[in-house]
């Protein structure tokens, strides 16, 4: 298939592009390479896929030196005209939209960034999918949408109308916008609620990344809510396998959908929502201990109060994922963190 991936210099986008080009798909990746975190890490990811930094100029299209079926364009998804021109020219079979302004805490300090990156950009993706019909539009949502919901594990059948951060609200808005376009224009759309993704080539703003960095350098780590938190940590390879399974099966209308008892995860439109999580929440302190074990070094911990916009526990119900795709993430944190720490030490040349 011919596939457009937005955010291919990002963590998930890089891994997805790498997997798809290695399996023979024709992939075009776009990313604006902003400075939310170190752009050098983003350029390093691109280099793995054969895209050299010195060739990545603003709005410049570069064909990979390693893979003839991979092209990269430095472009912002907010640039509707350029995005429309690209999609009109290329006629993609599938769009996987991963570009977004990430971060729960960052959204409290920089709300405007989320309006542009997560709302305007997603509207542009929907519009190009409308005017240049695709077989399937897959987009990243987030476990953050569950907000104040206390039903465990989090189910896609749950109400998610009480987000506790602007980031979460923007992801919930994406799901609503997608449903509207699926309903009006019959665009098959599938939203994927990712649960705390971690692994090699990860984002430096994520806790596990900064924990590793600070422990190595003998600096204190900040642990919020005094460590009384659980996360459904999901290894990057499991996320990628989930995306690919779902990508290849476009959303279809649910013929049994009941408007009097609506299921939020499906519709009479070709619209679906799935959780992709490990279905096994881990205590934050146990996660830190696993990092310590791999580094053979103890952390200096500063315990802090709960941060605004955060939640104490995440836990994915993946029943629909299992039913529809016979797939369930299963990588343990022991294996996943071993892989991450090994990558970190190699990438940053730490003996």
Residues marked active site are found at: 167
Q: What are phi and psi of 195, to 5 degrees?
A: -115, 110
The tokens describing 23, both together, are 């399996």
> Which residue, chain included where needed, has tokens 């315990």?
303
Helix (H), strand (E) counts: the chain? 12, 14
Q: How many Cα atoms are found within 13 Å in the side-chain-facing hemisphere of 67? A: 23
Residue 253 and residue 271: Cα distance in Å, rounded? 7
The tokens describing 254, both together, are 């649910």
The tokens describing 24, both together, are 């023979």
Q: Which DSSP symbol is given to 117?
A: I
Outline where 204-269 has alpha helix (H).
Answer: 207-216, 236-247
Outline where 134-263 has alpha helix (H).
Answer: 166-185, 207-216, 236-247
CA-angle at 245, arms to 252 and 290, nearest 5°: 135
CA-angle at 55, arms to 51 and 61, nearest 5°: 80
Residue 123 and residue 127: Cα distance in Å, rounded? 6
Q: Give yes or no for a cis peptide into 153 (omega within 30° of 0).
A: yes
């Amino acid at each position: 298939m011919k596939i457009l991936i937005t955010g291919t210099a990002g963590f998930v986008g890089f891994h997805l592009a790498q997997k798809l080009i290695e399996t023979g798909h024709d992939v075009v990746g776009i990313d604006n390479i902003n400075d939310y975190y170190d752009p050098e890490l983003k350029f390093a990811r691109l280099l793995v896929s054969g895209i050299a930094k010195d060739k990545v100029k603003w709005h410049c299209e570069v064909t990979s030196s390693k893979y003839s079926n991979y092209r990269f364009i430095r472009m912002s998804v907010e640039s509707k005209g350029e995005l429309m021109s690209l999609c009109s020219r290329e006629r993609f079979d599938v769009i996987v939209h991963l570009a977004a302004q990430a971060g729960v805490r960052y959204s409290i300090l920089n709300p405007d960034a989320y309006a542009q990156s997560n709302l305007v950009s997603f509207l542009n993706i929907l519009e190009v999918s409308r005017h240049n019909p695709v077989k399937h539009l897959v987009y990243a949502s987030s476990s953050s949408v569950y907000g104040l919901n206390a039903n465990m594990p989090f189910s896609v059948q749950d109400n998610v109308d009480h987000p506790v951060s602007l980031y979460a609200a923007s992801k919930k808005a994406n799901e609503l916008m997608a449903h509207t376009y699926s309903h009006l224009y019959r665009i098959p759309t599938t939203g994927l609620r990712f649960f705390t993704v971690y692994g090699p080539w990860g984002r430096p703003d994520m806790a596990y990344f900064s924990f590793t960095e600070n422990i190595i350098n003998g600096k204190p780590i900040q642990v919020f809510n005094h460590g009384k938190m659980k996360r459904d940590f999901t290894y990057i390879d499991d996320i990628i396998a989930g995306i690919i399974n779902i990508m290849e099966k476009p959303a279809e209308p649910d013929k049994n959908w009941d408007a009097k008892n609506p299921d939020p995860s499906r519709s009479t439109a070709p619209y679906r929502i799935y959780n992709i999580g490990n279905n096994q929440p881990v205590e934050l302190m146990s996660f830190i201990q696993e990092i310590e074990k791999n580094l053979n070094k103890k952390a200096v911990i500063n315990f802090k109060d709960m941060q605004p916009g955060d939640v104490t526990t995440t836990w994915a119900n993946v029943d629909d994922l299992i039913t529809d795709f016979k797939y369930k993430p299963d990588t343990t944190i022991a294996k996943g963190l071993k892989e991450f720490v090994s990558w970190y030490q190699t990438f940053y040349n730490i003996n």
